Amino acid sequence: MAFLLTVGMCKERTKSEWKSFLVTMMGRNRLVLLTGLADAWPARHTWTLDHLLQNYGDTAFKISQRTSRKISMTFKDYVSYMKVQHDEDPLYIFDHKFGEVEPGLLKDYSVPYLFQEDFFDVLDKDKRPPFRWLIIGPQRSGASFAC
């Protein structure tokens, strides 16, 4: 069963209304669509295949598929694969340690104001669950950033 959320099903809020959101929506357990949270992120302009290839082409990322088998591949090799593949279940980048591998990628976005409270910060680093992922894949991969 799939759940599709459409704009008409919930209230839309902009950055200027965040504080009122906390009081009027969050406390009442209502659906809300937050807009504009990523408008100022450099990643919106710099995370293109060409830019990522130029800056991170030799970086190895974790590659996933629908089986439990995981591999690593350089970004340039992955893009080469991605451009020619016709797989029914293509490989995709699904890497939760991309920020440790390439800290420069972390400079291209920020955690929105409403989500900056980090409940996992009290845990030791080795006990902390994954909390961010780089997900890139071709069509049919299921990756949200399909190239």
Q: Are residues 14 and 52 in the same domain?
A: no
- pLDDT for position 146: 46
Q: Are residues 21 and 46 in the same domain?
A: no
The alpha-helical segments, DSSP class H, found in 40-119 are: 43-46, 49-56, 75-84, 98-101
Cα–Cα distance measured from residue 18 to residue 14, given in angstroms and rounded to the nearest whole number: 7
Residue 89 has pLDDT above 80, yes or no: yes
Do the domain assignments include residue 144? no
Report pTM: 0.74
Domain around 9: 1-36
Total structural domains within the chain: 2
Residue 6 has pLDDT above 80, yes or no: no
Mean pLDDT of the chain: 82
Q: Are residues 53 and 125 in the same domain?
A: yes
Q: Are residues 32 and 43 in the same domain?
A: no
Q: Are residues 57 and 96 in the same domain?
A: yes
| 25-50 pLDDT, tens digit each | 666 777 777 778 889 999 999 999 99
| 106-137 pLDDT, tens digit each | 999 999 877 888 888 899 988 989 989 999 98
Q: Are residues 19 and 75 in the same domain?
A: no
Q: Are residues 91 and 127 in the same domain?
A: yes
| % of the chain surpassing 70 pLDDT | 76
Cα–Cα distance measured from residue 26 to residue 21, given in angstroms and rounded to the nearest whole number: 6
- The structure tokens listed for 106 are 């972390």
- pLDDT for position 4: 53
Do the domain assignments include residue 145? no
Q: Are residues 131 and 66 in the same domain?
A: yes
